[in-house]
A and B are shown apart, each in its own frame.
Chain A
Amino acid sequence: MPKRVVSLWFPRLASDRFLRARPIDAPFALTQRQSNTQRLYCLNLLATQQGLQRGMGHSDARAFCPDLQSHPADLVGDQRFLHVLARWAKRYCPWVGFEGVDGLVLDITGAAHLFGGEATLLHDIHQRLARAGLLVKSGVADTRGAAWAFAHHGTGEAIQAQPLDAIGRLPVAALRLEEKVCVGLQRLGVRFVCDLSALPRATVTRRFGSEVLLRLDQALGTQAESISPLPNPSRYRVRLSLPDPIGLEADVMAGTARLLDQLCGKLKGREMGARVLLLTLRRVDKANQQIELRLACAMRDPLRILPLFERGVGQIDAGFGIDQLHLAATLVEPLPVQQMSHAHGRVDGRLDDLITRIGNRIGLENVQRFLPADSHIPERSYIIAPAAYSDPAGPWVNLRERPIQLFPPEPIMGAGPSPPAFLRWRRMTFRVERATGPERIAPEWWLSDENWRSGVRDYWKVETKQGRRLWLFYTPQNPGWFVQGQFA
């Protein structure tokens, strides 16, 4: 069965991706910084019609086309998008590879009939991509090189004929040659592929090196060319079947230890760390018992992970016995190997293990830490983030003394802008001996906060004869006094 290859080319992949998220009905270009200049990287149709082209300086382009809109290019995002497209293309055939940074190549040998033939398949691809807002050019041929040639320089139609007849009429650039070589060939009058194949091979090799003929042979099919498909996503799961059922906690832990060793070896080989582990214990009566372990940080050290399973295994009902153990890392994160150093880094993972243990009891998001935030509003001067998913970062800036405890504002009796001499709060009476203030804090108008509807606040630190040092505020725009905090 002859091989059939589809080559897809997305001439405006980057700008199409951007415009999918933010449609712009104007000339638009993505720019990229190349050798100290902003250059156009990818343009939409309107910009091309204005006479702009790829590689042009951004300021020149703005001079030609004053209403050009632009945005910096995101090459990594484009690559990620191409990955998504490659995964999508697996609906047509299992063998999908990349073609450069803006193309895909599909080996549809034996798969086209499932879609009603090549023409229908290509029509389907075009229709779906057009609906997704992507411009695509495609070519189908017996070889990868010929398919590429049709996609980039052909009419985009499926052509089935003798290889040389099919691509002979295409320019030499369709052979995936470098710009310099193409120009050289054209200077010699070799404009089309059929001209090139008519030349004696020895002279071509002597003049242009072996690459030209290699590309020609690949396009004609005399030289094989492989398509490397995307790797399958790794599966991190291991299994242990037992000839006789087990039921003792120590036995289950020993089995888990064995599985963990295997799984961690697998994770280590791929430089990944587990974040969520799922241990499934299959009982003799086919009832499954599951233990989910959510880790506070990505880990692959079996000696550290094993004790964390103790609590879950202790709660398992073994019934008539367990005859299969199944361990899977359901969530993994990249965990590169690190240089061990005495200079910095965590002393040990005990704190992370503690977060894991407590987190598995009360929920991992309920173990939290404070992070500084940029706000004058007392209750918004910090944010509370789950400790497992954040790192301590950022400086704590204290311009003024703040209370160690904050309450939701509790109204008290009081009149006038100066603090009352006596106050009743939480059924206690206080005599104010000294009041320090006011410190005016204005609400952040760009955020609508229910609690700050009453307008600006004048904060006072009040020291009472009874001892308590309270933080009061007065709202001049809606007169009223409130207690919001307590100092040490």
Chain B
Amino acid sequence: MVDYAMLSDFPDHFPPRPNRVHEVCGPNAFGFAFALAGHLRGSVLWVREAWQADQINPAGFSPYVDPHSLLIAKGNDQTEVLASAEEALRSGAVALTVIELTKPIGLTAGRRLQLAAEAGQSMGLCIVPEGTGSNAVETRWHCTSVFDPTDSTLQRWELIKNKSGTLTAWDVRWNAEARRIIVVSKARERPVP
């Protein structure tokens, strides 16, 4: 079980370490990816397999990131997805490469992505199914939406793997006016009497 950390350490962990590949899982992994893409303020390449029926909806994510700065690459299988992602990370032309993975990847593939990110000075984010993940990643996040009677953007972001730090969890919400993620204080968490 993880503890709630001091609020002030959130900026140390988010955005996660640059020039590395990170992972995110959980029901709200897409929300995390868009929040991160909006935070990095650059162009985004979203790599996924072509057969997937779920679509990301530009009308929905436009508050987070400008849909014009997002490109999608659709590969036929996971090998093509990984190859395209490596190419994008190595070129450094995009600030963030989001990789949707449907199957667990091995240590070799994970390490190759990591090396490509370091060479191209850009960040990668793998969206993985829950319970899978590569050991080569820098951090792994678990994101869920949380019901709140007064706020419909409350989420819990848990750091479930961290190569260079401790594991922590935060309750965050999306501030629509400021267009950024803000941390909810623990006092705010208590039920209203």
Contact = CB atoms under 8 A, between A and B. Distances in A.
Interface of A: 350-351, 353-355, 357-358, 361-362, 366-370, 372, 378-379, 381-382, 384, 387, 392-393, 396, 398, 401-408, 433-434, 436, 461, 463-469, 485-488
B71 A402 contact: no
Given A382-B58, A468-B145, 8 more contacts: A396-B59, A404-B34, A404-B56, A404-B61, A467-B144, A469-B152, A488-B31, A488-B34
6 contacts: A354-B88, A358-B73, A366-B74, A370-B68, A436-B152, A467-B145
9 closest cross-chain pairs (CB), A and B: A488-B31, A392-B68, A350-B93, A404-B60, A402-B60, A467-B145, A402-B59, A370-B58, A354-B93
A361 B87 contact: yes
B114 interface: no
Contacts, number: 147
Contact of A361 (B55, B71, B84): B84
B70 to A, nearest CB: 7
A463 B69 CA distance: 30
B60 A403 contact: yes
B72 A463 contact: no
A82 to B, nearest CB: 40
A79 B106 CA distance: 61
A384 B56 CA distance: 11
A354 B174 CA distance: 32
A463 B147 contact: yes
Interface in B46-79: 50, 53-64, 66-76
Nearest to A488: B31
Given A357-B91, A405-B60, A464-B147, A369 B72 contact: yes
Interface of B: 27-28, 30-31, 34-35, 43, 45, 50, 53-64, 66-76, 80, 83-84, 87-88, 91-94, 144-147, 149, 152-153, 155, 174
Contacts of A393: 68
A306 to B, nearest CB: 15
Contact of A355 (B71, B75, B83, B146): B71
Contact of B73 (A366, A396, A407): A366
Given A368-B74, A488-B31, A350 B91 contact: yes
Contacts of B27: 467-468, 486
B59 A382 contact: yes
Nearest to A381: B59
A356 to B, nearest CB: 10
Contact of A369 (B53, B60, B68, B92): B68
A362 B56 contact: no
B57 A351 contact: no
Contacts of B76: 362
A405 B145 contact: no
B59 A366 contact: no
Contacts of B94: 351, 354
